[in-house]
């Protein structure tokens, strides 16, 4: 834990040397597990791609890749499609299915803005949808369509600090018992020295704690930290690393990804 937080403290200290002018809020789900309340702007499409590695005591998991497609239908509604292809390697030789690779069920959902942020009062949004079990490979296909929902809240604090809070439930498509999710994240954003209005460049550093509780099973608590570089108002790259705090959590987590926002084409008026 100390080894994970030390680089974060250095990055946070170094970032205070950057300019602290107005920052640009990029509505990206990546790289944190905790999600903010902002939506993709109306008429814009966004693609987020990432790879994530998780090392459990008996299983290694690699998502290659996870992807999320978003489209801002209006200022209050966002349409989204999420999925991931994954590989699993069991460390024990006695496992019936020692290795597996495939596509998990695609999730089709939405994000709805509920409340705007006011001073220290957080903004909030509702996220929900269904996993389409027929859109997956046979080895990862679930028996039922599974719903999920989440409440995302976000505070914009002075001096470019921010806080995010999530609470939600999801089902696995196999049993009627849900998995409860809760997450809290803190972040700091700063402009880079060479940032200009035309080429807006900034870095966001974050740390978070989140937990998963499958009903009737054991808690899974994890910590994570990382950073996201906004190269301009349309491209973001990110890196993060974390670890589990309980025996059922992964020992180590790492991820890297890319987010691309495609602006809507403005129609040129006829002269």
Residue bearing the bigger pLDDT, 101 or 16: 101
DSSP 166: E
> Distance (Å, rounded) from C-alpha 226 to C-alpha 123?
23
What is the average pLDDT across 124-134?
Answer: 95
Give residue 119's pLDDT. Answer: 81
> Distance (Å, rounded) from C-alpha 62 to C-alpha 64?
6
pLDDT at 5 over 70: no
Give residue 269's pLDDT. Answer: 42
pLDDT at 11 over 60: no
Query: Considering only 102-116, 192-206, 215-229, which range has the smallest mean pLDDT?
Result: 192-206
Q: How confident is the model at residue 19 (pLDDT cuts 50, 70, 90)?
A: very low
Query: Considering only 109-113, 152-156, 198-202, 217-221, which range has the smallest mean pLDDT?
Result: 198-202
Q: Is 257 exposed, middle or buried (0-12, 13-18, 19+ CB in 10 A)?
A: buried
CA within 13 Å, CB half, 223: 10
Give residue 257's pLDDT. Answer: 96
3-state secondary structure at position 55 = strand
pLDDT at 16 over 70: no
Q: Cβ(163)–Cβ(152) under 8 Å?
A: no
In b/e form, how buried is each residue of 209-230, taking b as 16+ CB within 10 angstroms?
bbbbbbeeeeebbbbbbbbbeb
Query: What is the average pLDDT value for the chain, to the nearest integer?
Result: 88
Q: How confident is the model at residue 50 (pLDDT cuts 50, 70, 90)?
A: very high
> Distance (Å, rounded) from C-alpha 143 to C-alpha 250?
26
DSSP for 207-268 reads: EEEEEEEETTS--EEEEEEEEEEESSSSEEEEEEEEEESSTTS-SEEEEEEEEEEEPPPPPP
DSSP 193: T
> Distance (Å, rounded) from C-alpha 15 to C-alpha 204?
9
Q: What residues contact 93, with CB distance under 8 A and at least 6 apart?
A: none
3-state secondary structure at position 138 = helix
> Distance (Å, rounded) from C-alpha 86 to C-alpha 102?
6
pTM to 2 decimal places: 0.86
> Distance (Å, rounded) from C-alpha 144 to C-alpha 132?
9
Q: Cβ(64)–Cβ(86) under 8 Å?
A: yes
Q: How confident is the model at residue 193 (pLDDT cuts 50, 70, 90)?
A: confident
Q: Taking the CA atoms of 38, 46, 186 and 11 in sequence, report the sign of the dihedral they define.
A: negative
Give residue 23's pLDDT. Answer: 86
């Amino acid at each position: 834990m100390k080894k994970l937080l030390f680089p974060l403290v250095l990055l946070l200290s170094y970032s205070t040397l950057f300019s602290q002018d107005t920052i640009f809020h990029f509505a990206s789900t990546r790289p944190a597990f905790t999600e903010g309340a902002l939506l993709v702007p109306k008429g814009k499409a966004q693609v987020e791609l990432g790879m994530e590695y998780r090392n459990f005591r008996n299983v290694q998991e690699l998502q290659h890749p996870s992807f999320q497609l978003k489209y801002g239908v209006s200022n209050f509604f966002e349409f989204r499609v999420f999925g991931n292809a994954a590989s699993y390697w069991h460390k024990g030789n006695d496992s019936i299915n020692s290795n597996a690779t495939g596509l998990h069920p695609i999730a089709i959902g939405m994000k709805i803005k509920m409340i705007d942020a006011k001073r220290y009062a957080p903004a909030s949004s509702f996220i929900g949808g269904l996993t389409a079990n027929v859109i997956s490979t046979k080895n990862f296909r679930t028996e039922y369509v599974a719903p999920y929902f989440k409440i995302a809240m976000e505070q914009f604090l002075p001096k470019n600090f921010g806080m995010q809070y999530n609470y939600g439930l999801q089902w696995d498509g196999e049993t009627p018992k849900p998995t409860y999710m809760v997450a809290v994240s803190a972040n700091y954003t700063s402009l880079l020295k060479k940032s200009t209005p035309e080429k807006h460049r900034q870095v966001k550093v974050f740390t978070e704690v989140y937990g998963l509780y499958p009903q009737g099973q054991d808690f899974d608590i994890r910590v994570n930290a990382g950073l996201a570089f906004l190269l301009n108002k349309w491209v973001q790259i990110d890196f993060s690393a974390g670890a589990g705090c309980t025996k059922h959590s992964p020992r180590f987590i790492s991820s890297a990804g890319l987010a691309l926002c495609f602006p809507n084409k403005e129609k040129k008026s006829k002269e």
